[in-house]
Structure 1
Amino acid sequence: MNKALLPLDGKPVIEQLIEELEPLSQSILIAGGELRDYEYLGRKVVADFYPGLGPLAGLHAGLSASTTAWNLVVACDMPFVRRAVFEAIVARATQIEKNALNQEDERTQAIIVKIDGRVQPLLAAYSRSVLPELSTSLVSGRLRMTEWAAGLRAEYIDGAALAQRLGVAKQVLQFNMNDRADYDQARFIAREMRQNDVQGE
């Protein structure tokens, strides 16, 4: 099953993520996908340079095709990430760029959400300067994203605080769909969130 195209509240997850990203992004790339699956979205779809090597290869493809210094990244199976999360990441990246001329230390390469000590490398922003490390990891077969990210000069954003600002449980913010059971749970969570929104009106 293509997790990105699974509907929640009547709309595919990938369309919901695009809506959250669009106000903050110059352009949106879909990395590691098949054009025929996503061409209806009218977005650029880039294929992996290293097919079959998982999320790290998708990140490499997206960053290689990007023309911007910093790039927001979100996995297509994280259905409950909202704009406030991306705004916090963008604000930090903007501050890093403003401070860059005044600092002598090596520059930050990544801004990654961390929730209760658990790093979320597919909910982050990356500088294109990580591409050499990405290529090295892929060629050498070191494909675990958390291990690769641990070797970067990274800053971390408190995901629990962001979840509180969003009014959702931190478990919801980091929720991802790996199988049919997760999708069923996501549908339940979406229904609960919708009901809470209606009650709050």
Structure 2
Amino acid sequence: MGGGDKGLLNYRNEPFVVHLQRLLIRVGPVALVTQQGQHAYQQALASVDLSFVHDRWPDRGPLAGLAAGLAWARGQGCAGAFVAPCDSPCLGERWLQRLRSHVEDAPERVHICTVEGRLQPLHGWYPVALEPALTEALAKGERRAGVWVESQKPMVLDCTDLAAQFANVNTPADHTRLAP
């Protein structure tokens, strides 16, 4: 997206990350993990109930952000973290309720959504107890979220009927296609 911070793009007159914060605050404290641009987020979102967490593994991709988020969640006394990428502003209540219900039976396990059979490793629940294993995988050079997630033998939740909520924004055309 031209080097800009996708979480600050607007959807329905608010930054993407505000939509996600409003959704996720229903299940606990919310953090935004950033690798760069943290100051821009803090300025733009000063009035939003949101913690800012720095990604301590530069250029290691989403797994590094997940590790930083899990470390933060552990420090908050949370058992785990509901995870969503900032470029998915369409996620809604049905997704969160379904995932939350799925987690209740086995909160010690990773719970990941699939859409049309495709694993969505950044849409799910991760227990904080996995943070050391994830940090170790990163130290060994692992960067592929799907590979690491599958190694954790996740519980899978089919969300194909909610596919529109999983729309993410990677290009200006994707942003244009979002419904107003």
Q: Secondary structure at the match of 2:106?
A: helix
Runs (4+) of structure 1 moved beyond 4 Å? none
Q: Distance in 1 between matches of 2:60 and 2:12?
A: 31
2:168 corresponds to: 176
Counterpart mapping for 1:148-167 below 5 A? 148-161=148-161, 163=162
Which residue does 1:82 correspond to in 2? 92
Unaligned runs of 5+ in 2: none
**SS of corresponding position for 2:155:** strand
Deviation at 1:42, TM superposition (A): 4.1
Counterparts of 1:76 and 1:36, CA distance in 2: 16
CA-CA distance at 1:173 after TM superposition: 2.2
Query: What SS does the aligned partner of 1:125 have?
Result: strand
CA positional deviation for 1:93: 1.7
Contact in 2 for aligned 1:109/1:129 (Cα 8 Å): no
Q: Provide the aligned C-alpha RMSD in A.
A: 1.5
Distance 2:26 2:142 in 1: 35
Higher relative contact order (CA 8 A, sep 6+): 2
Question: Shift of the alpha carbon at 1:153?
Answer: 2.6
Q: Which has the larger radius of gyration?
A: 1
Secondary structure of 2:105's counterpart equals helix
- CA spacing shift, 1:35–1:42, aligned 2, 3 Å: farther
Does structure 2 retain, via aligned residues, the 8 Å contact 1:109–1:130?
Answer: no
Equivalent position SS for 1:96:
coil
Q: Does 1:24 align with 2:27?
A: yes
Of the candidates 10, 35, 39, which is equivalent to residue 38 of structure 2?
35
Q: Whose helix fraction is larger, Structure 1's or Structure 2's?
A: 1
Q: Deviations over 1:37-82 (max 9, x none)?
A: 2221342111112122111111100000113112100000011110
Q: Given that residues 112 and 156 in structure 1 are in contact (C-alpha distance below 8 angstroms), is that contact kept between their aligned partners in structure 2?
A: yes
1:177 is matched by which residue type in structure 2? Answer: V
**Corresponding residue for 2:54?**
47
After TM superposition, the score normalised by the length of structure 2 is 0.87
Count residues in correspondence.
169
Structure 2 equivalent of residue 195 of structure 1: none
Distance in 2 (CA, whole Å) between partners of 1:134 and 1:7 is 32
SS in 1 for 2:59: coil
Matches within 5 A, 1:77-156: 77-97=87-107, 108-156=108-156
Aligned to 1:53, the other structure's residue is in SS state coil
**TM norm structure 1:** 0.78
Distance, in Å, in 1 between the alignment partners of 2:34 and 2:5 is: 12
